[in-house]
Every structure is written in C-alpha cells, then in structure tokens.
Structure 1
Amino acid sequence: MAFSIVVSAEGMVQPCEQTPSDMLHLSVIDTLPSLQFNVGTVHVFRHGPPDEEAAKVIKEALAKALVPYYPLAGRIKESTQGGQAQVQVACTGEGVWFVQASAHCTLLDVNYVDGDGEPLIPHQDFLPHYPPITLGFDPVVLIKVTQFKCNGFIVGLITHHCVADGLGAAQFLNAVGELARGMQQPSIAPLWCREAIPTPPRLAYSAGDRKLPKLPAFELETGCVDISLDRINQIKQQHLQLTGRTCSTFEIVVASLWICRTRAINFVVDTEVKLMFFANGRRLLNPPLPEGFYGNCVYPLAIKASSGAISRASLSEVVTLLQKAKKRSRKDFSQWIDSGLPDPFAPYIYSNLFISEWNRLGFNQVDYGWGPPLRMIPTQGPKFPVALILALPKPNTGIRLITWSLEGTHLPYFMDEMMKIYHPF
C-alpha cells in the first residue's frame, strides 16, 4: 500500500501582537561550534479533532506564543564589530515557518510511525521543508502539522540549537500547548537572560569560526533497543546487592551501551575510548539560572578509559565510573568555562561516543488539547557517533535507545551484546 503526504498550506506565522525589535546577544555556550546545527523531532499524537482543526488550533496558539517568545520569530545575524565576530538574534518579528499537510491514511495504517527497520513513511517526511530561497529568510523555528484520517496528527519541529537547547525547545512547545488549551499566558514566563552565562576571558576557539569542522566520512547505521522497566529494575537490584549503592536508569543504559559498543567494535588493545554526555548546567551556576531560561546551558561530562578495560568491565564497574563523573560535575563545569569552553566533541573520531538523554526534556508533556503525544522521534543530527535515550511509546514503560554510533559491520555484534543483557532468556 502506498502512503503519501500532501501539503495544503504553508507560510510564516507571526506574533499576534507587536513585539520588541531588539538585537539580542547569544551566550558563549549558544555559539559553540558543535551546537551550530538544526535539530529535528517528530511528535505523534493519537487523538485530535476532525477536519484538520489541529493545524488551525496550533497555528493560532503559535502566534500567541511568539509574543513572549518573540526572539524565535526573528533571525540569526552574524556581524563583525571592533574586529570581533558577533552572533546575535535580530528580533524582526518575521515569524516561524508553518506547513499544514494531510496523510490519506490512519496512524494505525502506518503503525504509528513505529516498528522495526525502515518506517512505512520516512520520518523526514513529517519535518517541514524550508521556505523558498526567494523569501530571503532563514527561520529559527519551523513546524509542520500532518493530519491523519483517524484525526490523529503529527507535529514535525525543527529548531536551531544555538537559540534553544532541548529543555528550551520543549518549554516552548509546552507554552504553545497551554495557549491552545485556552490559557491566557504560559505557566512559565520565558527569559532570554543570556548575559547570566559567564564569558571566559579567552575562548578556546576563534569567535569567527562557528561551523563544525569537516567530519570524517562515518557510515553510521541506525540501531534501536527497547528496554523494559522490569528488566531495568532487575539490574538495579543486582547492582544494589553487589555494591550496596543505588543507581539510576540512565546510568544502567549508558554503561551497557558503552560496554557493548566497545566490545562490538573490538578496538586495538589500549585504544583510548571517550564517553561524553551533556549535563544541565542551569543549577550549577552561582546564582542558578532562573526558571524560564530556554537557551543553552549544558556542558560535557567526559570519561576516558582504555577499550580493553571497558570491554572487560562489568555493568556495576562502569556505573561506578559514571557516578564518580557526575559527582565532580560542579567543579568540571567551572573548569570548562574557565578554560574557554573547548569543543566537547573534539576530536571527531570513531572511538568517541556522545550520549544525550531526551526522555526528561518535557516533550512527552506537550498537550494541544487532545492529550500528550504517543511518542517523540528524533531525527539524526550531526554525523558523529551519538546515542539518544528516550521513553518507550505509550502505553509501554521503559527506555528506547536509538543509536547512530556504529558502522554497519559492527552493528549486528552490538545488538547481540545488548540482547545478552536485556533479553537474556
């Protein structure tokens, strides 16, 4: 059966009221070269109103949300002042690119865009295309709403990472949802507040070099592992009995991923492997950032070890490494800023692995009036080894691990190793 998506309308959605025409500075974290990319996510809602009303409701709420979130209706501007490169947001009020579409099938027909292997409709088809170059406008935010015959719908979102991190993007969508449900204003007032991020006296990278360096030609394949809450709790109990200490779901999943990936690749003995994950720095600043801040305030926690040590390690041993790294987070955060914010991903090599936890960002709470999403699907960002931790699609409970961190020859061995841990029987 062939499935198609038809675009019925597209255009800019502007703030519904007059907004300031400021020129706002971004923080030094916002302008990190490794954060200069667009992030795409797909949000699947099982229930919605008939006759494509979801798009209409969301579009009207979006125009209201862009009043307090007016920087998102502007554009990113690069300039040179005093011989120094400056990156700012010009608050032009030009708006967000909005696409309305329909699919001539039900969500059930396409298995709620879920399943093993390639989905029946590629995830990219639910993301908005960019506006015609003739408009001369590169939006900070793009949204596409696709209505299905069952009245369910999918929201495709693209945001530029330098203006909002994952927590910030989820905060914005939740504000749109609240206004769609009839609230007069968002429950959390957005704050720009980028000046609260300390600027180091010297940057570890050139202020004029905001682009990612040319990346190696990795041929990374998609891997997906679903992990039940029952199995996670069993492993937590085993760790407690063995060490006398509790551990988190995140620590278990990350430890197993690092061990299994290292074993699958089978690095040359004593190859250095590095694990990196972003921690929320909002509470680590003094004073902490206020509620409502939606910019980037993340920093990389990194753990280095030899490939042989990680391949031979038990889950509990690697969990302990993670816990030690998290305990030194406040100190490491200060040192990272003081040292000029060196690129957290460099060098861009196969032995380095980056992990991001997405199931706590707040996307699963967005409600436009017909209930929260069934699931949220990330689309691949930068082309270096990365893994994302998400929640299993409802009504299941547990974790879905999606990884673009292994080349094709290594992926089957990785899946086998993960199955030994999470599906041993």
Structure 2
Amino acid sequence: MKGKDPAKFIKHGLSKTLVFYYPLAGRLIEGPNKKLMVNCNNEGIMFIEADANVELDKLGDSIKPPCPYLDLLLHNVSGSDGIIGCPLLLVQVTRFTCAGFAVGFRLNHTMMDAYGIKMFLNALSELIQGASTPSILPVWQRHLLSARSTPCITCIHHEFDEQIESKIAWESFEDKLIQQSFFFGNEEMEVIKKQVSSNCKSTKFELLVAFLWKCRTIALDLPLEEIVRLTLLMNIRGKSLKFELPPGYYGNAFITPAIISKAGLLCSNPLTYAVELVKKVKDHLNEEYVKSMTDLMVIKGRPEITKSWNFLISDNRYAGFDEFDFGWGNPIFGGVTKATSFISFGVSVKNDKGEKGVLIAISLPPLAMKTLQDIYKMTFTNIEQVNTISKM
C-alpha cells in the first residue's frame, strides 16, 4: 500500500462495508416508552479527510490515552453527536507528512459494543484488501435479547440506583476533571497480588479493578458513610451465562453489574475486601440476571447508569483494536483514547521497555488526581530498585 492514499482506500472500504452493516447508514428514531428503532433511510455516515503538518513520530506517547489531540484527530462536527436523528458513525482519516496516518472512529454505542466494533473493523480491513464479503457476516436479530412478554425485575441492580445528593456532588466536579493514565504490567500486578491474602483466588483484572476502586476512593476523600460503586462492563457472549448468540451478532451484548460499599469500609480494609466484593457479584451473574436487566430497561424506559460516586471500568484489552491491518500493517496504537467522566477503559499497550500491559486513563478533580498519583508512585516506586538489585 506504499504511496497509496489511506483516506481514499478507507472511504471506499467503508462504502462497501456499509452494504453489509446497512443499519449504520440509517438514523435512530424513538418509539413508545423511549424505545429506540433504526430508520434504515440510507442517509449514510460522516467521513472527514484531514492533513497534519507534522510527522506521526513527533506525537510520541501522546497518542496514547489521554490523547490531547483527540479533538483534531476526530473532529466533532456540529449537530452530529446526538442520539436521535444523527449520523451513527463518524470516521476521520488524518494523513501525516511521513506517510503515516490516523483513523478515528466515533460510534453511537446504542448500535454495537466492542465485539461489534471489532467485527465491523475486521470486515472493513478485509474489504479494503480485496475480499468480496466479510469472513463473518453480520446479523441483526435484536429480538434475541428482547424483554420478556411480561417484564419483571427479579434481581438487584445497584448500577441504576441514584442518590441525588451524591450525583449532584459528582456533577459539580465534571467541568474541572483532569485525566491521567496509569500503566500496569506484570511487575505492577505482582505488587498488587502481594496485597491480597493467599487464599483469595482471583483473576488479574479482578485484582486490578479492586485496587483502582480502592485507590480512587481514597483519593476522593469522601465521608466514611458515603456509598461508593464499582460498575463492571461484562460481555454475555461467554458460555458461563448460557446465551447462544450467533457469531455475527454485533449488537450490544453486555451487562453492567455494580458493587457497592461504604467508603470507610473500602478504604480502611485490606485489598482482599474489595477483591471479594468483585468476585461475589460476578459469581451471582446468571441468565436470570441478564433477563432482569433487560426487563428493567423496558420498565424504566432506558434509565441512565448512576453517577453517584460510581466508577465504571470497561476491559478492552482483548478487543484487538491494536491489531487491525487496513493494508499498511498493524497500528502503533489502537484503542479508546480517553476516559469520560466516571468511565475508564483498559487498553493494551507496551511501555518504554516493550513490555505489554494495560493502560487505564482515569478522570478526577486535580487534588484527588495528585493523591492518586502519589499512591501509585508509593505503591510501585521500589520496582526499579528491586530489579536492579536482583540483576547484580
């Protein structure tokens, strides 16, 4: 693909991909009880072509979250960022003077989740490089996750509890939030693991989200009796929940279970306390929980996830956004480029030593961010010293 214009090829590839993903070329309309429907009117998506008078290498690590150039690499076209009646997909290709380029995607999340985006980008990659059809054909079939004929909430869903005073308290910070990313490789995870009792068996990501939840809550310095939440975004396509969705199903297929605790208990107890809370909520997830949440959406008319001292983490490490090859080779970075308010994303990156790990951008008020940075430094400051001594 050397010497070929990426904007031209990606735009042409998008036109072919949208033949198979035709709902993305339509617009959302709202029916009774706030029910969203797609009007397949073929209005199309938004495509932006841009040039940057700089070499891509000059950006360095700044292309990783939180990317300060996001507004330039993915321009927010006026009137395009709503839910109803707006384009469902915006794509920007930015060419650099070195022949490198960036591709930015902004998608209406009501249409698909990370798995669906991965399917779409894989199809785009295949069609750009000469395939006549995607290797996995997309299927709509949204009825597979419809509410029951008589909707009934049978489980507790703390992610939709809203405490007005706590919500207002967080919203008062939102225009003052700053972002910082934190890297966790094998060495950092070993340090975290040593903070948990030996009989507490957990996955690396359970350890990580519990650690971040506790540290973030300490940094916020909340009253001891304040209720805090950790919300997980979990794919239901796995076998454990017994949902047999077709491989081509690209709609949202995830749940958002929330863990709650008093701030004082979370901050004063050993990390094992938070890890056990995470494990407990995951152990209670089953088919009934998914159906109860689906019914809740109908009964309450698409309620928003609570902002009340909530911390939502989405694990995008295995989404493969850093592996898509549109014909020019794998990207030097691929993933969600920033946190949004109380929502963070775990993305796969390599550090300066070439070690692969997870990078998580977090939004906090300035004073709380300074505290969180201090906690991170104090927790992991001895890693370099230990490594140096072990090599002597």
**TM-score normalised per structure 1:** 0.75
Unaligned runs of 5+ in 1: 1-47, 205-211
Which of 1, 7, 11 is the aligned partner of 1:59? 11
Does the 8 A contact of 2:29 with 2:85 survive in 1? no
Compared with structure 1, are the counterparts of its residues 79 and 352 closer, same or farther at alpha carbon in structure 2 (3 Å cutoff)? closer
Give the SS at the match of 1:354: strand
Q: Please give the alpha-carbon distance, in whole angstroms, between the structure 2 residues aligned to 1:67 and 1:320.
A: 47
Letter in 1 for 2:372: F
Shift of 1:79: 4.3
Compared with structure 1, are the counterparts of its residues 85 and 368 closer, same or farther at alpha carbon in structure 2 (3 Å cutoff)? same
Could you say which residue in structure 2 is the equivalent of 1:314? 270
Does the 8 A contact of 1:271 with 1:306 survive in 2? yes
Could you say which residue in structure 1 is the equivalent of 2:204? 249
Could you say which residue in structure 1 is the equivalent of 2:255? 299
Which of 396, 401, 407 is the aligned partner of 2:360? 401
1:371-413, CA deviations, whole angstroms, 9 ceiling, x for partnerless residues? 2222135355754x22221112474411111112x21221111
Q: Please give the alpha-carbon distance, in whole angstroms, between the structure 2 residues aligned to 1:390 and 1:57.
A: 27
- Aligned residues: CA RMSD: 3.0
Could you say which residue in structure 1 is the equivalent of 2:156? none
Higher fraction of strand: 1
Unaligned runs of 5+ in 2: 154-161, 384-392
Which of 347, 354, 361 is the aligned partner of 1:390? 347
Could you say which residue in structure 2 is the equivalent of 1:362? 320
Shift of 1:74: 1.1
Between Structure 1 and Structure 2, how many residues are aligned? 358
Compared with structure 1, are the counterparts of its residues 124 and 190 closer, same or farther at alpha carbon in structure 2 (3 Å cutoff)? same
Shift of 1:309: 1.4
Shift of 1:160: 0.5
Alignment of 1:95 with 2:44, yes or no, is yes
Give the SS at the match of 2:345: strand
Give the SS at the match of 1:71: helix
Which of 116, 132, 135 is the aligned partner of 1:184? 132
Could you say which residue in structure 1 is the equivalent of 2:72? 125
Which of 316, 329, 332 is the aligned partner of 1:374? 332
Compared with structure 1, are the counterparts of its residues 85 and 228 closer, same or farther at alpha carbon in structure 2 (3 Å cutoff)? closer
Compared with structure 1, are the counterparts of its residues 221 and 129 closer, same or farther at alpha carbon in structure 2 (3 Å cutoff)? closer
Compared with structure 1, are the counterparts of its residues 355 and 143 closer, same or farther at alpha carbon in structure 2 (3 Å cutoff)? same
Compared with structure 1, are the counterparts of its residues 421 and 248 closer, same or farther at alpha carbon in structure 2 (3 Å cutoff)? farther
Shift of 1:344: 7.3
Q: Please give the alpha-carbon distance, in whole angstroms, between the structure 1 residues aligned to 2:39 and 2:67.
A: 40
Does the 8 A contact of 2:192 with 2:211 survive in 1? no
Does the 8 A contact of 1:375 with 1:392 survive in 2? yes
Could you say which residue in structure 2 is the equivalent of 1:209? none
Alignment of 1:50 with 2:3, yes or no, is yes
**TM-score normalised per structure 2:** 0.81
Does the 8 A contact of 1:99 with 1:143 survive in 2? yes
Higher fraction of helix: 2
1:192-213, CA deviations, whole angstroms, 9 ceiling, x for partnerless residues? 1101113143488xxxxxxx99
Could you say which residue in structure 2 is the equivalent of 1:18? none
Compared with structure 1, are the counterparts of its residues 247 and 409 closer, same or farther at alpha carbon in structure 2 (3 Å cutoff)? same
Which runs of structure 2 are paired with 1:9-408 in the superposition (5 Å)?
A: 49-50=2-3, 53-79=5-31, 85-111=34-60, 113-114=62-63, 119=68, 122-130=69-77, 138-200=86-148, 201-202=150-151, 216-218=171-173, 219-233=176-190, 235-236=192-193, 238=194, 242-244=197-199, 246-283=201-238, 287-330=243-286, 331-340=288-297, 346-349=305-308, 351-379=309-337, 383=341, 385-393=342-350, 395-404=354-363, 406-408=364-366
Runs of 4+ in 1 over 6 A off after TM superposition: 115-118, 212-215
Shift of 1:117: 8.2
Q: Please give the alpha-carbon distance, in whole angstroms, between the structure 2 residues aligned to 1:282 and 1:318.
A: 26
